[in-house]
Amino acid sequence: MTRRIETLARSANARLRYRAQPGWMAPMLATLVETPPKTAGWVYEPKLDGVRVLVYTNGGNVRLFSRNRKPLDGAYPELVDALSFAVRGDAVLDGEVVAVDPSTGQSSFSRLQRRMQLRDELKARASSGDVPVELYLFDCLFYEGIDLTGLPLVDRKAVLRDVVWYDDPIRFTPFRTTGSAAMFREACAKGAEGIIAKRAESRYVSARSTEWLKIKCVHQQEFVVGGFTAPKGSRENLGALLVGYYEHGALKYAGKVGTGYDRATLEMLSRRLAPLARRTSPFAPGPAPAGEVQWVTPRLVVEIGFGEWTPAGLLRHPRYLGIREDKSAAEVRREQ
């Protein structure tokens, strides 16, 4: 037990629970808002453009899971290796895997896609030199038989800093307690995705919460693919993805995404969508695309960047960014 844990055990016994390490602790999710909070009592972190990862260390073994509990050990073997030395004890940690674009110095979801598609450890190790990844840790849910979710965020962060040895590629996520407006402006000026605001006294809950907020510089979210148009000109495999989101149990059409692809991506998407082909539209009645369309069963989730929502409820200037393996189609809603 670390000194920090011993101090917390004496001062916060009522909020500490002693139990065996759980097999799964679902992640806490942030709520989208337009502007940072103006009141005191918040901490602010950079919003990283990567993929959420839950880290489980037990008896020297390290396991990585996505937010929907898919194993990620084989995708990021270098992180498993680093964590096996870096984490001092049995723990459950929360963080984000990112790939940094060397031209901008910012995390890039599009760049990370080249690693996210790999599940074979040998292939992932071979590609790690071309697309290196880093793990930014920002929370500690469990440590050495103690459930920390009932503690305030600031105490959990203190434990996290204490129980991990931080060295490349494992990093402690920096945070501020003041200057949120300036931090947000700086993030947007650098082309970053935005910032995350977390109430300093917030407890960790396995659900979406207004105790954690996300403020985005750019419009970007997940959508479900419901079909695609035929290719035109020199393009092969498909023309544009037809995407939507769920509202009251129905898949609502959001628009046609025709940019952001290279040849390899078009081939991969065509291969993924072929088994999902169907004759009828999966979208609810409403605006529909014109031209030759191949409908698909709505299972594939993709990340899309866009300019804004039109008054008709469609995406303006959408661009494909990548596939989201860590979210199910049924979860996808329009972010408000």
What pLDDT is stored for residue 142 in this prediction?
96
What residues contact residue 6 under an 8 Å CB cut-off, 6+ apart? none
> 68 to each of 142, 244, 298, 317, 328, how far by Cα in Å?
19, 20, 18, 29, 8
Q: Rounded to an integer, what distance in angstroms lies between the CA atom of residue 96 and that of residue 137? A: 7
Q: Rounded to an integer, what distance in angstroms lies between the CA atom of residue 228 and that of residue 240? A: 5
Return the closest-CA partner of residue 66 out of 49, 51, 81.
51
**What are the residue ranges spanned by the domains of the chain?**
3-14+26-216, 219-331
User: Does 121 have pLDDT greater than 60?
Assistant: no
Which CATH number does 219-331 carry?
2.40.50.140
Calculate the dihedral angle through the C-alpha atoms of 248, 251, 252, 255, rounding to the nearest 10 degrees. Answer: 150
Report, as an integer, the average pLDDT of 172-193: 92
What pLDDT is stored for residue 9 in this prediction?
64
Which one from 47, 198, 252, 256 is the annotated catalytic residue?
47
Tell me the backbone φ, ψ of residue 316, rounded to 5 degrees.
-100, 130
Hey, what are 229's tokens?
């148009």
What residues contact residue 137 under an 8 Å CB cut-off, 6+ apart? 55, 93, 94, 95, 160, 164, 170, 171, 172, 173
At 89-119, the pLDDT tens digits run: 999 999 999 999 888 888 888 889 878 766 6
Q: Into which CATH architecture does domain 3-14+26-216 fall?
A: 2-Layer Sandwich (3.30)
Q: Rounded to an integer, what distance in angstroms lies between the CA atom of residue 205 and that of residue 62? A: 23
- DSSP H/E element including 80: helix 77-86
264, 275 Cβ separation under 8 angstroms: no
User: Does 215 have pLDDT greater than 90?
Assistant: yes
Report, as an integer, the average pLDDT of 182-188: 92
- DSSP H/E element including 3: helix 3-11
CATH topology agreement for domains 3-14+26-216 and 219-331: no
- 47: annotated active-site residue: yes
At 299-323, the pLDDT tens digits run: 999 999 998 899 889 999 899 999 9
What pLDDT is stored for residue 123 in this prediction?
56
Report, as an integer, the average pLDDT of 194-220: 95
Q: Rounded to an integer, what distance in angstroms lies between the CA atom of residue 41 and that of residue 199? A: 6
